[in-house]
Amino acid sequence: MGNNVNRRGFTLIELIVVIAVVGILVLLAVSSLGDYISKARLTHIIHDIKVAEDKVGELLINEGDLPGDWEDTERSCLEAAKDNRILYEKQGIALTIDDGEYKSINGNYVKKSIRSRLRGKFYTNQQGKVYYEDTKVISDKIENDDDNDEGTTGDLVNQGWIPVASAAELQQINDYEFQYGTGVIYKELTWGAGTEWQGEYTGKLDSSYVIVNDIDFSGYNEDWIPIGKEYARPFQGTITGLSNKLKNFNMDDTLSWNEGSNYYETAGIFGIVGGNAEFTDIKIEEPRINIDVDEIDINGGMLGANMNIGVLIGQIYNGNIKIKNINITNADIKCIGYKNVLNKVGVGGLVGYDKGENTTIEDVIFGGNILGHLSEEINNDKMVGGIVGSTCKNDEYTLNMKNVSVSGNIVGSNTEYFNQEASTNGGSVGGLIGLSQKGYVDIEDININAEIKGNVSVGGIIGQAEWYNAVTIKNPSVKGNITGFIVYEYEDIKESKGLGGIIGTSRSGYAYILDGGIKITGGSVDVGSIEGDDRVGGIIGFSSTTFFGDDDEEEELEDEGMSISKLKVMDTSVNGNLKSYKSDVNAIIGLNHTIVKLNNVNVDVTIQESEEDDKVVTELYNNIEWIGDKPGF
């Protein structure tokens, strides 16, 4: 006999109740999601406004005015956007509008320089104040930037990034122990102290870090040890500043040679970097590095030791390194003194020495003063660059630099003292790179507006390029003055030689693997003067090809399609005064020992050689090939 089971369905009232509850939950979820999206979008807008103000400020410094093709905008347009609550500044929704006449920032500039994907309009005035008019209204719940990075910071922390809230916490990245047989032992420490992201995390050399607020180093009272203190254990992680500021970083001559670093000593916020390290969206204000080499205790007096100094990174040791959107202002970097045991010293506004496999540097601004040497006993330039002091790579490795600006004073020496050693131990000084050796170097959209001084190999972009170095330079702009600081004092001794508007000295070797040589396109050299004792040129001071094989080897390589490195210059202009106290001065190259091809090169210069009368050269060089030490045209 079967069992009777009474199956009862939902009543209509129960169904209505269930549907109502589900509907309420959906509405709450949608509302929360909408608030989240609104906050994330606001963070995006504020970030792009900050970037825009940096770029416009740089433009005003370099050009002195806003571009003429940016359209004038009536103040009433901004007022209307403000009243409709769709006008933003870097603090959030704009409640007031600064005085001044406004222009709409050109759309191409927004895409290419600011690199914003926002679809609204950016406005700016002559003081560099930027507003953004959004076509998509953001929730009225958020009207200021008290926690404008909260959404992005929270997302990153939730993804496993470690929050950094102080200089002491940055230094904690170095807080590890190494035991043979065990390896590196890391500690669980407190990070993000005093913020809502405070917690216990294990920070490693290859972890990802997010700076959650401005950090003032003036409150850090310990000697700074650059992060990544050993070449065997470099920093390999990722760090983003979310446009927060690192202020008043200070490093003095309290260094002692670190035994673990072997032949490399570094100074900077980060020391030795490698792996796949990345650095993004960091502002560094008023950094100060003052290193007296004579005061450093070099254990054992190791011959061939190297020292590398950069505000952000002392040395890139290996790996694929990315550096993007870094703004350094009011920097003061000094590396003074001299030690015979030191082999090389690289001093850069961003990086001291780059030995990485593939290094990318984009959207970087440096402003300040760099002094590579000061001594009353010996005048010896170090490798000094506005961004990178020195780079040396294997033949197939690369350095890519794009959208970089440098302003201030880049000095290899500041004394007129001279003796025999200076003629052989001179360094290289460049507005962008001091010394470039080997590998592929691609440089694009570079603005240098600086006073550049040194002894030997002094250039507006690169001091010296050598050793199978394939260099491509697109759209470089050089303003300021390039000066050989040492005056001529001794008979038959040439000092302050190799000074050029773009490259001081080019010694590219035979192109075994590389499509070798130097290629310059779209260049503008508009300087007050380029002057020195010898080898002074509007584009390059001294250009030569170094080949150490015999004639048979040369013919064999040419049969395989390889040729002696060439210099190609296209669509470039040179304006200014060129002066050589002795000899070898030319509107293009002071002294040339290689093959040069010129296409659409305009020069308008005044040349003074030794005691001869000034000579004005106004010329267009088009489809010209130049071989030999003097132009054949």
Closest CA to 349 of 361, 332, 336, 337: 332
Looking only at the bridges linking them, the beta strands covering 358-371 and 398-411 are parallel
The widest CA-to-CA distance across the chain, in whole angstroms, is: 129
CA 345/CA 422 separation, integer angstroms: 15
Residues 6+ apart with CB under 8 A from 302: 257, 263, 341
Which domain covers residue 49, as residue numbers?
15-133
Query: Is 566 a residue whose pLDDT tops 80?
Result: no
In a domain, 92, yes or no: yes
With cut-offs at 50, 70 and 90, classify the pLDDT of residue 424. Answer: very low
User: How many other β-carbons are positioned within 10 Å of the β-carbon of residue 17?
Assistant: 12
Pairing of strands 264-267, 305-310: parallel
Q: What is the pLDDT at residue 315?
A: 93
Question: Of 57-61, 94-98, 365-369, 607-611, where does the model show the most confidence?
Answer: 365-369
Residue 419 has pLDDT above 70, yes or no: no
DSSP reduced 3-state for 349: coil
* Per-residue tokens: 607: 């040349």
| Higher per-residue confidence, 365 vs 14 | 365
Q: What is the C-alpha separation between 574 and 525, in angstroms, rounded?
A: 5
Q: What is the mean pLDDT of residues 223-235?
A: 88
Task: Average the pLDDT over each of 261-270, 295-304, 334-343, 619-628 and give the range with the smallest value.
Answer: 295-304
What confidence tier does 2 reach under pLDDT thresholds 50, 70, 90? very low
Phi and psi dihedrals of 40, rounded to 5?
-60, -40
Query: How is residue 602 written in tokens?
Result: 């305009």
Q: What is the pLDDT of residue 450?
A: 95
- What does the pLDDT read at residue 410? 94
pLDDT score for 90: 86
pLDDT at 453 over 60: yes
For the cut 60, the answer to whether the pLDDT of residue 143 exceeds it is no
- Does the residue 421 lie in any domain? no
Residue 494: inside a domain, yes or no? no
Tally of structural domains, the chain: 1
**pLDDT (average), residues 546-559:** 50
User: Is 10 domain-assigned?
Assistant: no
- Residue 437 has a pLDDT of 86
Q: What percent of the chain has pLDDT over 70?
A: 75
Helix (H) and strand (E) counts for the chain?
Answer: 6, 43
Evaluate whether residue 189 is within a structural domain: no
Over residues 475-534, the pLDDT tens digits come to 999 999 998 865 444 444 446 788 999 999 887 644 333 345 688 999 999 999 999 888
Least confident range from 102-106, 294-298, 612-616: namely 294-298
For residue 564, is pLDDT > 90? no
Please say whether the beta carbons of 114 and 122 come within 8 A. yes
What confidence score (pLDDT) does residue 252 get?
82
pLDDT for 117: 76
User: What does the pLDDT read at residue 524?
Assistant: 92
Lowest mean pLDDT among 96-100, 323-327, 359-363: 96-100
Q: What does the block give as tokens for 417?
A: 């003292």
**142 — pLDDT class (breaks 50, 70, 90):** very low
Q: How far apart are alpha carbons 607 and 355 in whole angstroms? A: 39
pLDDT category of residue 19 using cuts at 50, 70 and 90: confident
Q: Which of 50, 43, 41, 62 is nearest to 124 (CA)?
A: 50
Assign 120 a pLDDT band (cuts: 50, 70, 90): confident
Q: Are 445 and 475 in contact (CB under 8 A)?
A: yes
- pLDDT at residue 192 in the model: 94
Q: Band of the pLDDT at 36, cuts 50, 70, 90?
A: very low
Higher-pLDDT residue of 513 and 76 is 76
Q: Residue 67: inside a domain, yes or no?
A: yes
Within a 10 A sphere around the Cβ of 177, how many other Cβ atoms?
Answer: 10
Please give the average per-residue pLDDT across 264-282, as a whole number.
91
Lowest mean pLDDT among 141-145, 185-189, 536-540, 616-620: 141-145
Query: pLDDT band at residue 341, thresholds of 50, 70 and 90?
Result: very low
Confidence at residue 408, expressed as pLDDT on a 0 to 100 scale: 95
Which residues 6+ apart lie within 8 Å of 430 measured at CB? 384, 385, 386, 410, 452, 458, 459, 460, 461, 462, 463, 464, 503, 504
Say if 192 falls within a structural domain: no
**Which one, of 355, 341, 354, lies nearest residue 306 by Cα?**
341
Kindly report the average pLDDT of the chain as a whole number: 79
Percent pLDDT > 90 in the chain is: 39
Q: In the prediction, which pLDDT does 475 show?
A: 92
Q: Is the pLDDT of residue 323 over 80?
A: yes
Does 268 fall in a domain? no
pLDDT: which is higher, 256 or 110: 110
Question: What is the 3-class SS of 248-300, one letter each residue?
Answer: CCEECCCCECCHHHCCEEEECCEEEECCCCEEEEEEEECCEEEEEHHHCECHH
Identify whether the C-beta of residue 541 lies closer than 8 Å to the C-beta of residue 457. Answer: yes
Q: Alpha-carbon distance 467 to 482, whole Å? A: 24
**Bigger pLDDT: 253 vs 478:** 478
Name which of 26-40, 186-200, 224-238, 343-357 the model is least confident about.
Answer: 26-40
Mean pLDDT of 576-604: 87
Q: Rounded mean pLDDT of 112-131?
A: 87
What's the pLDDT at 187?
86
Local confidence band at 337 (pLDDT 50, 70, 90 cut-offs): low
Backbone torsions φ then ψ of 396, nearest 5 degrees = -95, 0
The predicted model gives 66-91 an average pLDDT of 87
pLDDT at residue 243 greater than cutoff 60 = yes
Q: Are 343 and 305 in contact (CB under 8 A)?
A: yes
